[in-house]
Amino acid sequence: MKLRISNAWILTMEEDRPAFPGELHVENDRISYAGAALNEEQLSAMGPFERSIDASGNLLLPGFKNAHTHSAMTFLRSYADDLPLDEWLNRQVFPMEAKLDEEKIYWLAQLAFLEYLTSGITAAFDMYLSPDAVGEASRDFGFRTVLVGAMNDFCQSVADEERCYRLWNQPGDLVSYRLGFHAEYTTSRDKMEALADLAHRLRAPVFAHNSETEREVRQCVGRYGKTPTQVMDDLGLFDHGGGGYHCIWLQEEDFDIFRQRGLYAVTCPGSNAKLASGIAPVADLLRRGIPVAVGTDGPASNNCLDMFREMFLVTGLAKLREQDAAAVPAKEVLHMATVNGARAMGLTQCETLTVGQKADLIMIDQRQPNMRPLSDPRKNLVYSGSKQNVCMTMIDGKILYENGRFCAAVEPEVIYEKVEKILNEMR
């Protein structure tokens, strides 16, 4: 499809480029123009458009990249609450997950995709028990997903990781794959060593939960005499990059490893606050030149898949932790939620609204009172924006959500019905 969006404000997320009035064109899955308004002669030379949208002064920007989530955990939303992480996992999550199969995971993930669209999320970095089921759900739905291995002592193997890596990393597909494992505390040294060997053979980055709780770090030091970051690095897991999810209880040497290896730290403030895990040292990470991305974590621990809430918590909690109202400003947070998320996930074609990049974008309704006055769109998005402002979400050049209505391949009512049936069977 050839599409024109006119009368818009455009925030490309290019470095030091402010929002500007203009128009944006999409041809098939790519951005073909993003610039000043064109006259009739210029438009005529570009050929006819199959659809034209008047943005009426609304804001276009790249979609948010949810850099850590467990989409199919929608079945545990508002079920396993008000517990610390270790009790939450062992008493509530693991017993219920034992009842899952691939068909259930398929439909549970699609429920999360619907919520992502309403929050302006155009891609998710998804770690779960069955990557294939989530990948198929994503492909059928039309959502962009980067799968990451969840290998541990109870599910998945290094052979599974290699199979998924080769299966899902196909050019032009909405779904791709990164090596990963659940965490040091759920994964034996032998398995981590084998995954490191695979990462070396593939020259691939590795991702895992890392230093989410103080207890996790203390127990790891008890086992190995080192923190999780140091153990992973010593095993060679980070020789080709990667990153960690949460990264709350990092020590000084851990920061050095992140910086030297070019690792991404993915912060999930909503989940960390709800589980009382702690506040990530985001300002320290940034001061050391370590790239930070933002994730929602799963809908069992958050429970809301809302990047607006996450962005506000990133900056709000950082200011509180640092006792500095200037810490981690809105411009930096928005960069984390868009460009840095894309880079952490390997989505280098989904970073900015520039010619040749993938048409993964959102439109923000600036006519609502919480977005006025229009003095600084970045600050409005981070400090006062909400899901109610998302009036369009486009992925791969296709509009999947527009003015409160879903336009995805699967009808919402079908998904809701399937999920309710799954829950009735499981509980």
Range of the domain at 295: 64-344
Task: Supply the pLDDT for residue 93.
Answer: 82
Q: Is residue 418 situated within a structural domain?
A: no
In this structure, the answer to whether residues 225 and 319 fall within a common structural domain is yes
In this structure, the answer to whether residues 168 and 309 fall within a common structural domain is yes
In this structure, the answer to whether residues 134 and 276 fall within a common structural domain is yes
pLDDT in tens, 381-410: 999 999 999 999 999 999 999 999 999 888
Task: Supply the pLDDT for residue 138.
Answer: 97
Task: Supply the pLDDT for residue 82.
Answer: 82
Which residues of the chain fall below pLDDT 50?
A: none
In this structure, the answer to whether residues 50 and 101 fall within a common structural domain is no
Task: Supply the pLDDT for residue 259.
Answer: 98
Reported as type and span, the H/E element at residue 367 is: none
pLDDT in tens, 170-220: 988 999 999 999 999 999 999 999 999 999 999 999 999 999 999 999 999
Alpha-carbon distances, residue 2 vs 5, 28, 46, 398 (angstroms)? 10, 6, 10, 10
Task: Supply the pLDDT for residue 246.
Answer: 98
User: What CATH number has the domain bearing residue 125?
Assistant: 3.20.20.140
Q: Are 138 and 123 in contact (CB under 8 A)?
A: no
In this structure, the answer to whether residues 56 and 175 fall within a common structural domain is no
In this structure, the answer to whether residues 141 and 78 fall within a common structural domain is yes
Task: Supply the pLDDT for residue 272.
Answer: 97
Q: Is residue 118 situated within a structural domain?
A: yes
In this structure, the answer to whether residues 49 and 75 fall within a common structural domain is no
First to last CA, the chain: 44
Task: Supply the pLDDT for residue 81.
Answer: 79
Locate the DSSP E strands across 63-137: 64-69, 121-127
The residues, ordered by sequence, that sit 6+ positions from 199 with a Cβ below 8 Å of its Cβ are 179, 205, 206, 236, 237, 239, 240, 242
In this structure, the answer to whether residues 185 and 152 fall within a common structural domain is yes
Task: Supply the pLDDT for residue 128.
Answer: 96
In this structure, the answer to whether residues 17 and 72 fall within a common structural domain is no
User: What CATH number has the domain bearing residue 379?
Assistant: 2.30.40.10
pLDDT in tens, 86-110: 887 788 888 888 899 999 999 999 9
In this structure, the answer to whether residues 208 and 304 fall within a common structural domain is yes
Task: Supply the pLDDT for residue 90.
Answer: 82
In this structure, the answer to whether residues 91 and 6 fall within a common structural domain is no
In this structure, the answer to whether residues 36 and 148 fall within a common structural domain is no
Task: Supply the pLDDT for residue 78.
Answer: 86
